[in-house]
A and B are shown apart, each in its own frame.
Chain A
């Protein structure tokens, strides 16, 4: 899932222009998202409620009280869920979105007359490995190599994104960068032994084609088989 964590309150207050009277947002809508960020406890209905209360209290204490309302839509990254907000939005100076970066941009694109600011930092495509712990598993490089690396991704999990085995900093199963990081290549090696596929690891993997990962401009998928014909679009 897409995982994020809330920005510090001080940074959010600064984004809202609190403190500089002229730029003060008087009326703010905190907008949550009911999908990924709800599951990772960063921007769902509950977090929206807590942050909205914090903003009310903090702005009051600072002497420039802000009126803060709350809303949470099922998915901020899909037009159909956003459209319901259109009328409501006219009342606000600023929207503070607790959705991921896609949601924030979707809001700004759909409602260009209102500024939507980010309230969370979108961090990764992660797995909740245990309650309260999310660990990155995918960097969406666009050219999946999990078939070559026995189901463990060195792009996301090796600190140097190595494709041909562990560097000299792997010891006792952990990465030199941080003992809390399991060495991806140690894990790959163990899987190779388990499935008797060591020979695969001896093959030289050529330089990766990064054009699917960090190319010029946003990456885009167009599926003509799914697109609507012109007469079907309103």
Chain B
């Protein structure tokens, strides 16, 4: 029996400890580089260290080839972060996934986010063959069975040490069919997920409506739900997400506020405009966190500041979430 198990934890990860202790969690995101140089990861890690409880390491996000999420996660660990390794079903079959999970665990990863994966047409290898041997629900169940039943997907016993991950998954409350989304969450819960990170929220009323149903179904008591937020960089970005990104809803007020942020600042004053946009983007994000925190069933926030990792610390700080809690093993009941 492992140390973690003795302490009553599923994985013993920092994120698990923070959530189990009842703290409002904050997680971040780190996109690996499109190359082999580890410096970018170390740089981003310095920006995130101490600001969040764990950091998602994306897995060839938007189907663009990047350094592997496991390797990047190990580099991030060396820099003092706790990684949440993302694993998609797009690029690997059940053999490759299980083999990678054994490796990731062996290298020290403890959190895993199980995803279907963005379709390859959106990335830089649109003619690639996708895999989808499993879907995200089946992936969750497989990882849970590896941890709790000590078996591979085929049913054979894992004789040389089972990987014991804190299992995460994503939920998009803004995609259709809207009525099915809480049930989709219920399926992931039934499959064995421990925590959820949602799609970026720019429509709090709709998220509230979703959470109301989730609470009615009692799902919030079975899974930790981290609300996805992220700072807007410009009105153009908000508009693009509103109009062009499938599965996203952005309320007009956010577009308008970002547009208003630079009103009156001449186009030539690029630095002043940039600073005004950054300030407003961070402000909106902080307000969102404060509003979302009041919604029943929300256990934390997942802050996605894509290629703007420097924004995470001011957001967490502004939301009153610093310093991040340090939970010792014995604190768990």
Contact = CB atoms under 8 A, between A and B. Distances in A.
B175 A204 contact: no
The 3 closest A-B pairs by CB, nearest first: A168-B172, A176-B246, A164-B137
Contact of A163 (B138, B170, B199, B246): B138
Contacts, number: 103
21 contacts: A160-B117, A160-B132, A160-B135, A162-B135, A163-B138, A164-B187, A165-B137, A167-B116, A169-B247, A170-B247, A171-B175, A172-B176, A183-B176, A186-B176, A186-B177, A198-B183, A204-B137, A204-B141, A204-B191, A206-B138, A207-B138
Interface string B271-291: 000000000000000000000
A169 B133 contact: no
A207 B142 contact: yes
Given A167-B136, A169-B119, 4 more contacts: A165-B180, A166-B175, A172-B176, A174-B246
A210 interface: yes
A169 B248 CA distance: 8
Given A176-B247, A204-B141, A169 B175 contact: yes
Contacts of B171: 168
A207 B153 contact: yes
Interface of B: 89-90, 94, 116-119, 121-122, 130, 132-138, 141-142, 153, 170-172, 174-177, 179-180, 183-184, 186-187, 190-191, 199, 246-247
Contacts of A164: 135-138, 184, 187
A173 B247 CA distance: 11
Contact of A171 (B116, B130, B133, B247): B247
Contacts of B134: 207
Interface of A: 159-177, 183, 185-186, 189-190, 198, 201-202, 204-208, 210
Contacts of B183: 165, 198, 201-202
Contact of B187 (A165, A174, A176, A210): A165
Contacts of B184: 164-166
A42 B52 CA distance: 59
B132 A162 contact: yes
A145 B157 CA distance: 29
Contacts of A174: 246
A168 B247 contact: yes
B135 A163 contact: yes
Contacts of A160: 89-90, 116-117, 119, 130, 132, 135
